[in-house]
Amino acid sequence: MQASFDTLSKMRHILIILILLTPLSAWCNTLQGKVVKVADGDTVTIVDEKGDKHRIRLGGIDAPEKDQPYGSESTKNLEWLVYGKGVTIEYDKHDRYGRIVGKVLVNPQGDVFCLAIGCVRKVDAGLEQIKSGLAWHYKKYQKEQSKQDRKLYSEAERNARRKPVGLWVGKERMPPWQWRRK
C-alpha cells in the first residue's frame, strides 16, 4: 500500500512540475482572422473564418489617443502593420468594454520558408508599435504578460527612448492613461 502511495505522490509532483514548466502561451486561447478595421494605435477588429467580428485590444501596450499628439501616426503605423492581413490572437481575458485583450501576431505573407539563418516568423504588432516609438509598454498590466514579452517590451521602449524615435523625439508627451483622466 505504501509503494502505491509513493508512486502516486511522485506522479503528482511530476505533473505539477510539467504544468509549471509549460509556457504561458500554451494556456492562452487563440483566435485567427483578418484585420478589417484599425480603430486606433492599440485596437483592431478582426473577422474570423466563421465571419464573426471581434474587437481586439493589443495587450501590453498603450498607444496615444486619436486626439493626442502622435495618435494619428500610431494609428497609421498599426494600419500598415496589420490591415487586411491574417493575424493570430493569443489571449486570456476581456476588458471592461468587452474587447479581447491579447497579443496580436501578424501571419507571414505567402509561403513560410526557412533558411540556414532562421525562419520567417509572425510579427508581434504590439512590440512593433513600441519599437516605432508609437506606444508605451503598459507597465500597469505587465504582470499579465509572459516574462519574455515583459522583457522584450521594456527593452523596446528603452531603445525607442534612447534613439529617440516617434513620440520620444519631442519633449512634450503625456502617457495615454494620464490623457484620458483629463
Inter-CA distances, 177 with 51, 113, 145, 173, Å: 33, 41, 19, 12
Phi-psi region of 87 (alpha: psi -120 to 50; beta: other; left: phi over 0): beta
Respond yes or no: is residue 65 known to be catalytic: yes
- Is 80:148 a contact under the CB 8 Å cutoff? no
Asked whether 102 and 89 are in contact (CB, 8 A), the reply is yes
Q: Which residue, among 51, 47, 58, 25, has the nearest Cα to 141 in the 3D structure?
A: 58
Q: Check 57, 90, 128, 157 and give the catalytic one.
A: 57
CB-based burial of residue 28 (10 Å sphere; 0-12 exposed, 13-18 middle, 19+ buried)?
middle
**Catalytic option among 65, 90, 128, 157:** 65
The answer to whether 155 is a known catalytic residue is no
Q: Is the dihedral of CA 142, 145, 150, 156 positive or negative?
A: negative
DSSP H or E segment with residue 108: none
Which one from 90, 99, 128, 157 is the annotated catalytic residue? 99
CB 145 within 8 A of CB 177: no
Known catalytic residue at 180: no
Residues involved in catalysis: 57, 65, 99
